[in-house]
Amino acid sequence: MNIYRVRTTNEACFASMNPYRVLTTDEACFASMNPYRVRTTNEACFASMNPYRVLTTNEACFASMNPYRVRTTNEACFASMNPDRVLTTNEACFASMNPYRVRTTNEACFASMNPYRVRTTNEACFASMNPYRVLTTNEACFASMNPYRVRTTNEACIASMNPYRVLTTNKACFASMNPYRVHTTNEACFASMNPYRVLTTDEACVAQNFILGLFLAPEVGKGVDDDTKDQVKDDDDNEEEEEKIVHNPGHIQGLLKHQECQDVSIYFTLH
């Protein structure tokens, strides 16, 4: 029980109670309770309870409860509960609950719940619920519900419900319900429900001309009829011819029909 004796280098001091002794380099101190001792580089300190110790570079500290320790670059810290730690570049942190961590470029963060994270260019973010994320150019965002996203040029947005989106030139938008869209020149818009759309130059307007003809025919007949009545009324010189015209309604209808066909054909020729 000599407390002043100097112990040798390689002696076994597992049961020593001297708190001021200096432990040797390679001795096994797993059960040591000395809080001021300096631990060696490669010693195993899995069960150490020293909160001020500095952990070595390559030691395994999976179960360490030291909140002030600096973790090494390639160590596995999957189960770490240290909220202030800085995660390394290539470590796998899928289950990490650290909201302040900076995620790496190519890591898979599908299940991440961090709303402030910046997503990479080509990562798949189909299930992402982050409303402030910027979608990449060629990513497939068919199911995206982000109303502020900028859609790419050639992406298929047939089922998109974004009323402010700009449709591309040659895309097929037959089923589009966007009332503010600008239709292209040669696109087929027969099924379009946009009442403000501008018809193109060479599109087929057969139905439009047919409707115009139907509305124009009564006006032409009415105008010819009025002119004939005025002509009959004002023609006082030839009473015989006047009576013949008035008392022959079939002749009048034939004239009207002939004049109507001429006017309609002239209208469609000009228009």
For residue range 6-54, list pLDDT tens digits in order. Answer: 444 334 444 344 444 444 444 444 334 343 444 443 343 433 434 344 4
Domain ranges of the chain: 1-91, 103-150, 156-202, 206-270
User: Of the segments 19-28, 70-79, 229-238, which one has the largest average pLDDT value?
Assistant: 229-238
Per-chain mean pLDDT for the chain: 43
- At residue 221, the pLDDT reads 53
Map the chain to HEC letters.
CCCCCCCCCCCCCCCCCCCCCCCCCCCCCCCCCCCCCCCCCCCCCCCCCCCCCCCCCCCCCCCCCCCCCCCCCCCCCCCCCCCCCCCCCCCCCCCCCCCCCCCCCCCCCCCCCCCCCCCCCCCCCCCCCCCCCCCCCCCCCCCCCCCCCCCCCCCCCCCCCCCCCCCCCCCCCCCCCCCCCCCCCCCCCCCCCCCCCCCCCCCCCHHHHHHHHHHHHHHHHHHHHHHHHHHHHHCCCCHHHHHHHHCCHHHHHHHHHHHHHHHHHHHHHHC
119 pLDDT higher than 50: no
Is the full-model pTM beyond 0.75? Answer: no
- At residue 96, the pLDDT reads 41
